[in-house]
Structure 1
Amino acid sequence: MTYATDVEPTPALGVSTIVSESLTLLLRNFLPVMVLATFPTLVALAASGLINGWEVALGISEPILTGWADLIPFGITVMVQLIAYGITAALLVQLAYDAKLKRPVEINRYVAPALAVAFPIAILGLLSGILMVLGILALIVPGLWIYAVFSVMPAAVAIERNGFSGLGRSARLTRGYRWPIVGATILIGIMNAVVSAIAMFIVSLFAGGLGTSTAAIAFLTVTLAALSGIGYGLSAMSTALIYARLREIKEGVSVRDIAKVFE
């Protein structure tokens, strides 16, 4: 004899909803997103330009590494970029929830919490990035899967203030939803690739004509930082929404409850 059992269907992540809402939130809050995303990126580009040269920083030429000594400035640049990424991610996660709840965007209120979690996000971002690269070297699909495992780490660290346990928290939250997250990541990645292609086209287009004057370098740096900020903004919005959706599904926590940590 067999018995029928009622098994509740697993709630869907809602990939199309997350992607479309991420784009909507970005467009509706374009100016504050650009301010928050561009400034840390601008600082990182400026640091890279001063250390490695402006052509390397702007992607016009490749860095020349002839010995171990050349790795030191390169490593410093990477660390500055990682910290800038941590600050940007933490700033934009906070903005995403205010935008989602249609609350006023208060940039000054985001700064202190973002600085408090920037270093853990930077280090964990480096670790997850290394794991993802190793997965991609094996096959592209494992790399995407690893990315999905740790994809909500920035939001988890920024919201829960759990420091270096953010990777484990992300792994637990994403369990059972990693392939849908891969799907969302691919869609967001395509949009970001288009923006990046436009950014590099603009930089290469003007690089030759403007020369190497201070004004030319400043223009190209700001342009690249601003266009990169769009990609950061879209990624951060999707990360915040995926994190919120996972907590809603698994823990019954609403976006409003999540955003209370910033009040």
Structure 2
Amino acid sequence: MEQFVKYINSALPDGEGNELVYRFKKKTLDEMNARALEVTGRGGILSRKVVEDLIISEHADLAGEYKEFEAHETAKIKARRSFFGNIIGSLVYIILLITVFLGVSMTTDLWKYTWIIVVDGILLWVVYLLGLGIKKLVSMKRIFHVFARILLFGAVVVTMVAVFLAFVALTDLPHSWLFVIIGLILAFVCDGLFAEITKARLRIIYWLIYIPVISVFLFIIIGALDILAWSVAWMIIPLSLVVDLIIIYAAIRHNRAERMEVADIWNEN
């Protein structure tokens, strides 16, 4: 309807040459016309003036609607550019990685060491991709945070595997396999911290599970490095259960104090 066109043009800038403004105007006009057909089709309102006023009143803040549309479309464009940018960047990175590997290998003839350039390079690229996934999932609803935590766990482990392989390839460091165990410890710690930062509902339960698991890994590390005798180091495991009991006790006291505070406020009112 002509009245819709006049209203849209008066509420929004001319936007000549601006494709985004043009698309929004066309979208809004189509919606208004469809809405008008819907209203008149029901047989309830026959007056054209009444229909026009009704539809226009439903779009009273057209400038605000355009800002939302603009923000949404801009975000889509950025996401699309980021997606293709990551694809191109990944291809360039892999080509450079292979080039560096071949260049160093042919120059030094140390093929038995230089393989780590490709392997660790790819692992770090995987960590980067996992980081992108984490960033995306964190920005979404809380229900998706569990997947972000899985990716975070994987990113930490993959990073430590890369460190482990680097030490295996370039050094004769004994017990270098312990880097994998350390990676698992860091992964559990990072997941627990993520749960704390995002205020996950069961974050205390996670710590109650993770602390004994971490204690087992620490037991392996301490024993393998001869920091303590195996017959002594195992005590760290029951100590972790004591820590769990302390956490449970502290949580119960905290919850009880909160309930009493709420009850006092309720009674005062």
TM-score (normalizing by structure 2) = 0.26
Which protein has the larger Cα radius of gyration, Structure 1 or Structure 2?
A: 2
Task: Tell which has more relative contact order, 1 or 2 (C-alpha 8 A, sep 6+).
Answer: 1
